[in-house]
Amino acid sequence: MGGERVSWGAGRVPPRGGPERCFAGNVWKVPSSAQRAERLTEGEIVTSRAAGGAALAALCGLAVAACGSGETTLRFSPSSADARQAPPATTQPEEPKGEPAPGASADEPLRGKVVVIDPGHNGGNAKHPEVINRQVDVLTKRKPCDTTGTSTNDGYSEAAFTWDVSQRVAKILKARGATVKLTRKNNTGVGPCITERAAAGNKAKADAAISIHADGAGAAGHGFHVIMPKKIGGPVDPVVGDSRKLGITVRDAFRAGTGLPYSTYIGSKALDFRNDLGGLNLSTVPKIFLECGNMRNSGEAAKFRSPAFRQKIAESIATGMQRYLT
């Protein structure tokens, strides 16, 4: 039985009680013998009449569950004969691999993907405490709308650092075909609030979102870490699993690409899970925070001041994002 073969990429974790998610597999457009056949997109389930459904299942190795009224629900099976298995998230990163997204090409492997980048803080925050200190609800508590961020001992601000790195990451991902949106337009404004930063990713229906930061811990501490959401009985719960995969993938790429060590003062193996960050709690798309290092550590501060090293940081982040998305 012939048909047009199309590929399907990793999907989202559905809400609690929804269908199982699938990680890889192949889908076929079934010819006229099936009464209904669809090209699947991320996370979709397709319903076909029984005859066509059985044929499709036999061809693609799909699991079939009866739905009544002569219909069957087809679910992807990770054991499909030629399903592509994603490499373990903790393996040493290499150049991004995987089939391009639908409509993508080898030159633009991220075409069709949407990424939201959130440069932490903003350069004008310190001048407007009445705005950034306004309390907002992040579901587990109330917190200030935004903060000023930290800086190196000689005054290089976190807001300037995150803005520079975010622009670099955006440029790389756009060149690879992704649609990229930033949560702020410059480094001279105020905010946006942490609630609005989360809303930006949700509104864009991002395939992945990342908030870029740098820490301000004691000078003896060094290294980077990734912050991921916990389940809170809120909107983030369905994407906690995918956020963890995104976090581990970016962590591995960042470590390999920058040479910076895991944080010596927070988290385990550079992974930290929190339920008090509005940017995570309110997200309905896979999202992480990346603390690129400690700006109060003299060694890391010197690296962050280097444009060449900031480019290395950006390339590492982009590599991790692409590995997750493909």
Q: Which residues contact 262 (CB under 8 A, 6 or more apart)?
A: 223, 224, 225, 255, 269, 270
> Which residue is catalytic, options 158, 196, 291, 300?
291
Q: How many CB atoms lie within 10 A of CB 236?
A: 26
Q: What is the dihedral of CA 55, 56, 57, 63, to 10 degrees?
A: -140
Alpha helices in 220-306 (DSSP H): 240-258, 278-281, 298-304
Q: Are strands 142-144 and 135-137 parallel, antiparallel or unpaired?
A: antiparallel
Is 4 labeled as catalytic in the residue annotation?
no
- How far is Cα 145 from Cα 154, in angstroms, rounded to an integer? 27
Residues acting as catalytic residues = 291
